[in-house]
Homo-oligomer: A and B are copies of this chain.
Amino acid sequence: MKLPVQFGDVLGAYERIKDRIRKTPVLTSRSLNELTGSQLFFKCENFQRAGAFKYRGANNALLLLTREEMQRGVLTHSSGNHAAALALASRRLGIRAFIVMPRNAPAIKKQAVLDFGAEVVECEPTLEAREKTAAAVQEKTGAVFIHPYNNRQVIAGQGTAALELLREVGELDAVFAPVGGGGLLSGTAVVTRYLNPGAEVFGCEPANADDAYRSFHAGKLIPVRNPDTIADGLRTSLAPITFEMIRKLVSDILLVSEEDIVIAMRLLWERLKIVVEPSGAVPFAAALRHKEKFRKKRVGIILSGGNVDLEKMPFGREGSG
């Protein structure tokens, strides 16, 4: 059966967005290679505009709107990186953006969205309130809803990070991506399986938000409710499109503990000298946790984002230093 997103969709997305995004660097580190026993290639989407890979998918989705849709504006509900990415990409294209955010979203995230010129609509902090508010905004404005991951154009855009990675470093044995809603993992998988069929793709997930792991092994969608993990970008659950992609293309889901995430994040900051958010550190946490399995392998690691509140650092408490 034909997959919802094909390699050609990612190629098309790349042609569409490549002059609007940053071609992010791939970093390597002898000391982190020594720690894991594998050869790691870090694709640094923390350097992407608006601070995360989400800017790729948001641009692709916006650029595929009709002229008439662009005039109506766009809408999403998110308090995270998709909101900021959609806000910035919309501003650059002269499209109005409405972002539905829970009233208790961190002030810093709300400010980022406002700074990017979007209109924030607050709601109560429940999924029901979010959807209801979004529906009301949509009805009033006619804005086009851009789902953060259950959207084929968004997934195709997210796949362009792996496209750049594989084109730059050549054949890999494995590619690790974090999995929350599954958009990045789906896009990464379709690119990797096409360009580098000998490489396996792994989703990396906090054990405290293990819906992808459970869904993958049960063969049916099993969402989680309000998971408690420091990896705030991975609290979402898979959706029908991403689940279909992932069950067909991904080898397994690797789980990591909260402590693993903090240790991994700290090592990335200290050794690579880059700021990576907890969600972005999850694939490297998996590379550390499961290092026996990948000894001497060439492993691509997608560092998905770098948006972190410096006032709320996990160091000095769980500190493993």
Residue ranges of A at the interface with B (Cβ–Cβ < 8 Å): 25, 46-47, 51, 108, 266, 269-270, 272-276, 306, 310-311, 313, 315-316, 319, 321
- Choice from B47, B266, B273, B310 contacting A266 with Cβ under 8 Å: B310
A275: chain B residues at CB < 8 Å are 269-270, 273-275
- Choice from B108, B273, B311, B316 contacting A311 with Cβ under 8 Å: B316
**Contact (Cβ within 8 A) A315 B321:** no
- Choice from B46, B274, B306, B313 contacting A310 with Cβ under 8 Å: B313
Give chain B nearest CB distance to A51 CB in angstroms.
7
Which chain B residue shows the least CB distance to A111?
B321
A274: chain B residues at CB < 8 Å are 273-275
**Contact (Cβ within 8 A) A311 B319:** yes
Copies, count:
2
> Can you list 5 residue pairs at the A/B interface with Cβ under 8 Å?
A25-B25, A51-B273, A269-B275, A275-B275, A310-B319
Which chain B residue shows the least CB distance to A49?
B30
**Contact (Cβ within 8 A) A269 B313:** no
Distance, CA A207 to CA B274, complexed state (A): 28
Distance, CA A270 to CA B115, complexed state (A): 14
A266: chain B residues at CB < 8 Å are 310
Which chain B residue shows the least CB distance to A305?
B273
A276: chain B residues at CB < 8 Å are 273
Please name 15 further chain A to chain B contacts, defined as beta carbons within 8 Å, in addition to the given A25-B25, A274-B274, A310-B319, sorted by A numbering: A47-B272, A47-B273, A266-B310, A269-B310, A270-B275, A273-B276, A273-B306, A275-B275, A310-B313, A310-B315, A310-B316, A311-B315, A313-B313, A313-B315, A313-B316
Which chain B residue shows the least CB distance to A317?
B311
The 8 nearest A-B residue pairs measured at CB:
A273-B306, A310-B315, A273-B275, A46-B273, A311-B316, A269-B275, A274-B274, A47-B273
A47: chain B residues at CB < 8 Å are 272-273
Distance, CA A108 to CA B269, complexed state (A): 15
Distance, CA A134 to CA B194, complexed state (A): 60
Distance, CA A140 to CA B166, complexed state (A): 54
